[in-house]
A = this chain, B = another copy of it.
Amino acid sequence: MSLRFAIITSLLEREATGLELTRRFDRSFGYFWPASHQQIYRELRSLLDAGLIEEKGDPARPGRGQPRVVGVTEEGVASLRRWIGELDEPRPERSSLAVRIRAAAATGELGGVEDAVRRHLAAHTATLETYREIERRDFADRLLDAEGELHHLVLRSGLANEQAWIGWCEDALELLQRLRRSE
């Protein structure tokens, strides 16, 4: 359900075409809920059918290849407000690295895993740097309004997560190297 409401929220911040939305889900919004253009168009269709969003601008621009701007309806805003307070459980964690490490432990095939860990470490390091740049640019110690504070809070979630992964990857590399040397 979250994609649905992520799209409504993004459209509430500013109405957009499918492609503009796709770009938002490739950067800012995508940092905590990524989505491809295929997912977005599929969901826009469903949101239109449900009457939670509507087409804005010239309706005499039908068909393929033409940009279609959509915005949130009153009912869309109402459904978003209702959803905000709903309770759910954290999504279960899944780590392919952890599976690889258990597999390596079971087979004794330790060699290949190090590269996999290094790849993840590099990816997390790059993401962390991206987040830090955003923090410097948008949240560097000046006074923020409530909305700014909340956006900063969301960014800090990403920062904390990447830092945790980086720390663990370094830990993992250290152990793997130690085990490799003492074979």
Where the two chains meet, the residues of A that have a C-beta atom closer than 8 Å to any C-beta of B are 2, 5-6, 8-9, 12-13, 29-34, 77, 80-81, 83-107, 109-113, 115-116, 119-120, 123-124, 146-147, 149-151, 153-154, 156-158, 160-161, 163-165, 167-168, 171-172, 175, 179
Contact = CB atoms under 8 A, between A and B. Distances in A.
A103 B16 CA distance: 17
Q: How often does this chain occur in the complex, in copies?
A: 2
Main secondary structure of the interface of A (DSSP, over half): helix
Contacts of A6: 99, 102-103
A104 to B, nearest CB: 6
B150 A105 contact: yes
B103 A9 contact: yes
B32 A93 contact: yes
Nearest to A164: B164
**Residue of A33, A81, A105 with most partner-chain B CB within 10 A:** A105
